[in-house]
Structures are given as C-alpha cells and as structure tokens.
Structure 1
Amino acid sequence: MTAAIEVPTAAPSRRRRRPTLMIGIVFTAIVVVMAAISLFWLPYSLTDISGGRLSAPSAEHLLGTDRLGRDLLSQLMVGARIALTVGAGAVLIAAVLGTALGLASAFARPWLDDAFSAGLDVVIAFPVLLLAMLVVAVQGPSLGSAILAIGLAMSAVIARLTRILARRVLQEQYVTAARTSGTHTSGIVWHHILPNIAPTLAVSLALQFGVAVLAEASLSYLGLGAPPPNASWGRMLQEAQGTVLTAPVGAIAPGIAVIVLVLGVNFLADGLRDFTDPTRRRSR
C-alpha cells in the first residue's frame, strides 16, 4: 500500500526535473557553440560596413545589418563570446575571493566575524551593477575592467554563503573529532569543509553566472563595457534602440540571446541542485 503511494510521486518529480536540465543544457550549448565558432570564423568582419545601412535579413546577411552597415549575426556571435568570457571570469574571481573571505570569517574570533558579517551585509545591500559601475568608472571601460568589477561585486554574496556553510560544518562532530586528533586547520578545510560546501557553492556560482551576464550587458548598454570594435549584446541593444521600429531585428536578436543564456544557466543551476541535494536524489 505504501509503495503504491510513493511511486506516483517519484515519477512526476523525475519528469519535472529532466526537461529543466535538458532545456538548460540546450540553451547554454547554443550560446557556447556560437561563441566557439566565432573564434575561427565570422560571416563578416566587425569593421566591414559594406552591407548597407539597416538592411533587412537576407541570404547575404541572415539577421540584416545595423545603422552602420555591419553584419548583425557577426556581432551576435562575438557578443556570445564576450558574455561567456565575462561570466566565467567574474564567477572565477567571485569563487576564489568569496570562498577565501568566507572561510577566513568562519575561523575568525567572534567579534571579528561579526564585524566582517556586518561589512558583507553593507556591500550586498548595493546592487551588483552599481558596484560594478563604480569600479569601471575608476579603472576605465574595458573587458578586463568589466570582469574585475562584476567579480568583485559578486564575491560578497559568495563570501557570506561560504561563511554560513563553513560555520555549519564546523559544528559537526566529525570536525570536532578531527581537531581533537590534531588535524591542522588547512586539513580541516580541504578534507571536511570544502567537500561538504562545494555542491551548494556550485549552484550559487551557476546562478551568479547569469547575474554576471546581465551585469555585463547593462554595463555595455551604458557604454562601460568592452570598447569598440568589440561587439557585445548590451551595446547592440543600445545602438538599436533608435531604429527599433524600422529595423527591429537589431534589438530583438541580442535581447533573445541574453534571455537564452540567462535562462540556460539558471536551468542548469536548478538541475545541478537536483543532483547535489540528497533529499532530491532520494525522490528520483
């Protein structure tokens, strides 16, 4: 009788998770493939203005051209490469810096931990885009500045999460036993804390990847991203806003690209949580 009740609940859960993960893989793979192809081949150079101003989609220009006569598909492909580069770079910075700061806070004395936590709360209270704009304003607009700015802005979120998770692990009995046996702090971190918090951190970093993509598009839209002739989705949206009624593809294409990538990494994060959460694994 119990088995008859549990089986129907497990099947819908399995059916519900699989499409989410597959959609995430497909959406993300589309952008990754497009970015990979742009490393070796582009339909037209980004400086080629021979296509005519605001040309409609055609066999020569599949998405048409912008107001300067540049091929939109070529810009979209390079924009995918920039979005992935900024997302990966910013997440790497946030992972290294945030994890290190969070672990340091978890092992710190109570008064220092409280002061550090209060500082993190202040930083997190500011939007990622605002903090990134401040850093870019000091460093100057460039691709490297965008990666550094977004990574630093997101590191506070990762630091707070790492601190919470690490302190929870430090209260476990096996950590107490390790300390009693003389295990050094570095050994506790590498053998007990990081293996236990890594799955949750991976999910959070995957979600932060989407935040980084949106932040990069916003910076580029404001003219604070990678300078020309580099193409980015945010700059494409900014340049197309004046001609959206006469040539809507110039605004629709980069907008859809941003949505596809952000949805893809968020669906992947949701699928990753399904595999790393023990309670969800048992329901599969």
Structure 2
Amino acid sequence: MSATAQGHVETPAEQQIHVAAPARRRRGHATLVIGLVLTGLVVVTALVSLVWLPYPLTDIQGGRLEAPSGAHLLGTDRLGRDLLSQLMVGARIALTVGAGAALLAGILGTAIGLTAALARPWVDDTLSATLDVVIAFPVLLLAMLVVAVQGASLGSAIFAIGLAMAAVIARLARILSRRVLQEQFVTAARTSGTRLPGIVWRHVLPNIAPTLAVALALQFGVAVLAEASLSYLGLGAPPPNASWGRMLQEAQGTVLTAPVGALAPGIAIIVLVLGVNFLTDGLREFTDPTRRRSR
C-alpha cells in the first residue's frame, strides 16, 4: 500500500485504478482520433461529391468493366459508368440516410421515452410492452415493411430506418428519465414550485442527453448498414442515385472478373461503420460519468 499527500493509505484496488486510468484515457484518445479520421474521410468525400464528380452518374461512355486507370481511378461497372463517381455519391447517400434516420429516431424515441417516464403507471406499462414488441423485430425487417408500403425512395428509407430505431432510443430514454426523476435535485425543484416542462427542460434532458448521443451514434452505424441492405434488395434510393448497397448488388455477378466493383463499396461501408463505432467508443470514454470518476 502507498500513502497519499493527505495521509490516506491506498488499497491495492485503488492503486490498480490509478494505474489503469491513464492507459484507459490514452486508449480513449486514440480511439476518438481513429474514429474522427475514418468518419472524416467519408464526410469529406461526400462534401466533394456535392461540387465535383469525375463523371456524371448517367455517363456510360466508358468501356464495360474497365480496370482502374488514369481515366477511371476505380474502373467502370458493367454499364460503363465510373465507379469512383458512384462511390462518392454513395457516401453522400449513406451519410444522409444515417444522419436523417438517427435524427428521426432521436426526436421520436426521446419523446416516447419521456412520455412513458412521466405518464401514469398503466400508460407506462403499455408503452413499455409495445416497445419490447417492436424491438424484438430486426431493424431491417421493419424498414422493409415500411418501404414496401410507401415505395422505394430516399425519404422512405430514412423514415423507415428512423422509425425502426426509435423504439431502442425510446426504451433507453425512458430508463434514463425515470432514473433522473428520482434524484434529489428533481425533488427539490418540484418542492420549489418548478412546473413539469421546466423540470424536463432544465434537469431531465441535460442529464440524459450525453448517453442518448452515444446511443444515437451507434444507431447511425446501424442505419448505414440498413440502408445498404435495402439498396442491395432494390428498396433504397432509385436510380440514377448511386448507393453502396446497389453497387454491391450490381457487382456480385462480375466479382471474379472485376473485383474492384464489389471491393470498393464494401470497404467504404466498413470504413464508415468502423469509424462511427470508434468515434462512439471515444465519446463514451468522455461522457460516461462512471469512467470520469475513475480517472
């Protein structure tokens, strides 16, 4: 055991925490940096696609299944379209769907979770049971059902994926809100005459926001995979929009003769999902109060 400046004798467990904290902090910084780099690479690609593309998506003047060259850095697909241009537009669509679905899930899920936490017990029980049933269904399956009803489009994909993910956010928001509502500072606010909207705005939302932000970042990666899956099945954004999932579907028949057509979108999906996951882990290291206390 070792003694601190205040005369307190540290136990072996406390010494282990103090030794592990710097290593965990360095790992959190490294994870955050890696996530920012990988995610930033996709974001920059998407932003560039707004102002410049090597070739229009409708340009089929290139040769069929050309290998990477100076004219086409990633080659062409079976219709003669430039793969790099499709990949860049696919980054834009993936980020749009991921951000839109996460935003929709955050707004709808938080509203439902707060309603369940503040409502009467029978309303809370009903909403909780409904959320459990919805969560039991895979996100992709629910999204396919919604898109099948509304029709394939970019807006339908965002709405379907966001709606499917809202149940997960709602259950988390309910649990966090109920925990905050039991704190002493909320009781003091009620005693002082603060109305319910003020308690929610000043006390509940600020305390649940960091954890919900991390959960939404994870759901962003789920949304990207769901969008790619919908596009692969022909239920995503219709042509001429390029999607990584559609690129994979179109390249599966020529993967042996022109592997770049399948490798490029596959690697892009991996980079974005890994980047978001690393970024989420790094954010959790700085937003989780239990980890902050151990530093």
The 3-state SS of whatever aligns with 1:39 is helix
Match of 1:33 among 16, 21, 44: 44
The 3-state SS of whatever aligns with 2:51 is coil
2:65 is the counterpart of 1:21: no
Match of 1:231 among 226, 242, 257: 242
**Structure 2 length-normalised TM:** 0.94
CA contact (8 A) 1:13 1:283 kept: no
Deviates more, 1:16-25 or 1:97-106: 16-25
**Structure 1 length-normalised TM:** 0.97
Match of 2:266 among 244, 255, 259: 255
2:105 matched residue in structure 1: 94
TM-superposition CA deviations, 1:228-282 (whole Å, max 9, x none): 0000000000000000000000000000000000011111111111111123224
1:73 matched residue in structure 2: 84
CA gap 1:278/1:2 in 2 versus in 1, 3 angstroms: farther
- CA shift for structure 1 position 77: 0.1
Question: What letter matches 1:34 in structure 2?
Answer: T
Match of 2:167 among 145, 149, 156: 156
2:144 is the counterpart of 1:144: no
Match of 2:94 among 52, 59, 83: 83
Match of 2:223 among 212, 220, 227: 212
Give structure 2 stretches of 5+ with no counterpart. 5-9
CA contact (8 A) 2:25 2:285 kept: no
CA contact (8 A) 1:61 1:73 kept: yes
- CA shift for structure 1 position 26: 0.4
Q: Which has the larger radius of gyration?
A: 2
The 3-state SS of whatever aligns with 2:171 is helix
2:60 matched residue in structure 1: 49
Question: What letter matches 1:51 in structure 2?
Answer: G
Question: What letter matches 1:46 in structure 2?
Answer: L
2:78 is the counterpart of 1:62: no
Q: What value does the CA root-mean-square deviation take over the aligned residues?
A: 1.2
- CA shift for structure 1 position 2: 5.4
Residue-pair matches, total? 284
1:126 matched residue in structure 2: 137
Match of 2:281 among 265, 270, 273: 270
CA gap 1:51/1:124 in 2 versus in 1, 3 angstroms: same
Match of 1:180 among 191, 194, 212: 191
Where in structure 1 do 4 or more consecutive aligned residues deviate above 3 Å?
2-8
CA contact (8 A) 2:60 2:80 kept: yes
Distance 2:100 2:219 in 1: 11
